[in-house]
Amino acid sequence: MAALRVYVESNFILQLSRRQEQATSCALILEAAGDGRIDLRVPAHALAEPVHTVKRDTSRWNGVTNEIGKLRSEMSRMEMFKSQADRLRDADALIGEAVNFQEESLRATLLRVVGAAKTLNTDADAVDLALRLPLQLDDGIIAGVILTDLSRDPVDRACLVTNDKKDFSNPELLGYFEANHCRVLFGFEEACGFVGIRS
């Protein structure tokens, strides 16, 4: 019997790399893929999105660090705060640690995911479908790639796991997935139950 197919997208990678609230469930899914218990698939487009997210965060956080440096300099010239201005170095150091952690963890996570999952490329059929879906283009490309894969390599049972309930709960969109025997699940804990993965 073929392994159950599970599609994931960018929030799966961010949950793992940032060790967010659903990271344990994501790790179980990744482990099941590595063991061959599930057929994990991810659009290549979804691998790029977390890189852009981390770059944006790094730029924003470095901007905060620069502002803290200016504030520390200003406060050190004020008699009342002169002796305490250096306490701001702790915030500066914390931001630096967070930036380094996020960048290193993302690299490691991407390598783990690519090693365990089949990566799906974006082609003309996927983009054509994406433009017809009731989604913004970024999400449309993710959905278009997955739906194209399902039409070319049909299965009796599959699931797409996403945290993006706002966009992916559209009834018209759900109809596309249901027609391809693919259930859309909103959360990685729910996905573990659907697939039959236990900690």
Instruction: Give the pLDDT confidence of 144-173 residue by residue, as tens digits.
Output: 999 999 999 999 999 999 999 999 999 999
Task: Average the pLDDT over 26-33 and give the result.
Answer: 96
Read off the amino acid at residue 137: L
**How many domains are there within the chain?**
1
User: Containing domain of residue 19, as a range?
Assistant: 4-195
pTM over 0.85: yes
Q: Residue 141 in contact with residue 122, Cβ under 8 Å?
A: yes
Instruction: Give the pLDDT confidence of 84-139 residue by residue, as tens digits.
Output: 777 877 787 888 888 888 899 999 999 999 999 999 999 999 999 999 999 999 99
CATH number (domain holding residue 101): 3.40.50.1010
With CA atoms as reference, report the closest residue to 192 among 21, 22, 75, 13: 22
